[in-house]
Structure 1
Amino acid sequence: MCDTVKTSSGAEITVCTPHQLEMCHRCGMCFVDMNNEARAEAQMAKAAKQHEDGDPLDPGQLRVGTEVRMRDESGRNPPKPLDGRIVGVTEEINEESDFCGETCYVIKLRDNSLMTYPVDWVHEEWSVKIDGHYIAASKVLQLVSS
């Protein structure tokens, strides 16, 4: 049997009912991986609520509300790019993520789900929507910083 409890960070985690532990050797239950994912999702949601569209983030970063696109290089026809907009910035804490420990943009995708992607990688690999056209983020940052 298990319970759900809310942490001080707002994450809803699962624990064993009798002992209220994430990893309980007595009950033989381990919710650590699932709970780490819940904590990371709560952190993303919190970061997404801290800013309004147009707010600046750290120097050298794109503004909140900036529309971004990652090209689809899978070979699908027609291609399905990953479109979203920047809603915040956070350090990735999910230990299962390739980006754990990285400073990441929080990106709200078209389906309203949230994802993180390292700031530097977005600048190198993604495009930014300006006047209806997508331009490499690296070029946009060069123009803004000059």
Structure 2
Amino acid sequence: MFDIDTITTENGAEITVCQDHQLELCNKCCMDFTEMNQEAISDTNKVKAISNANKRYTTPKGELRDPIEPGEIRVGTEVQMPDRSGRNPPRPLDGIIIGIIEETDDKSEYCGEICYLIQELVDNEMMTYPVDWVHDEWLVKLDGMFIPASQFLASAAK
């Protein structure tokens, strides 16, 4: 049996490799970590994108500004994707918008689209979801209650 190891790539992602050969796809050890490592690299890239966005949107005093344009949901807003699966009880996905990025993961169905970067409240996982879809399908927390994002944006425009 072969052992595994983790190494840190140049961009800071921790990836899994075979210990003997330090390869993520090793034919000698019959190990393939490429798909798993792509997720780690993608997550690291998302974190870096937010970090870089925050650097771009700092004031001279170093305070963060909201990088979101008018007509979009602000960073820090709590959102919820309703569960339309028919489960009883329903299990909606709750999260907080932590940024807006262009999805660059070529395995993502949203690759090339402008997306909200959402941190899930339950397990702190990060996910991207297209801006227009969030506006059409998700709920936004306002005064302790969730309302449709489209209604939230209409009230914010007034």
Q: TM-score range by the shorter chain?
A: 0.7 to 0.9
Identity %: 53
Equivalent position SS for 2:112: coil
Q: Per-residue CA shift, 1:22-43, capped at 9, x if unaligned?
A: 3234444322111101111222
CA distance in 2, matches of 1:12, 1:93: 19
What is the aligned partner in structure 1 of residue 33 from structure 2? 31
Residue 71 of structure 1, CA deviation: 1.1
What is the aligned partner in structure 2 of residue 118 from structure 1? 130
Pairs aligned (count): 146
The answer on 1:80 being equivalent to 2:100 is no
Residue 11 of structure 1, CA deviation: 0.9
CA distance in 2, matches of 1:14, 1:78: 38
Equivalent position SS for 2:89: coil
The answer on 1:137 being equivalent to 2:149 is yes
Describe the shift of the 1:90–1:10 C-alpha distance in structure 2 as closer, same or farther (beyond 3 A): farther
What is the aligned partner in structure 1 of residue 59 from structure 2? none
Q: Which moved more, 1:38-47 or 1:128-137?
A: 38-47
Q: Which moved more, 1:11-20 or 1:125-134?
A: 11-20
Residue 55 of structure 1, CA deviation: 1.9
Describe the shift of the 1:7–1:61 C-alpha distance in structure 2 as closer, same or farther (beyond 3 A): farther
Describe the shift of the 1:85–1:53 C-alpha distance in structure 2 as closer, same or farther (beyond 3 A): farther
What is the aligned partner in structure 2 of residue 69 from structure 1? 80
Q: Which has the higher contact order (CA 8 A, sep 6+)?
A: 1
TM-score under structure 1 normalisation?
0.79
CA distance in 2, matches of 1:53, 1:84: 21
RMSD over equivalenced CA pairs, Å? 2.7
TM-score under structure 2 normalisation?
0.74
Describe the shift of the 1:53–1:116 C-alpha distance in structure 2 as closer, same or farther (beyond 3 A): farther
CA distance in 2, matches of 1:54, 1:122: 22
Gaps of 5+ in 2: 55-62
The answer on 1:11 being equivalent to 2:13 is yes
Q: Which moved more, 1:43-52 or 1:16-25?
A: 43-52
Residue 74 of structure 1, CA deviation: 1.6
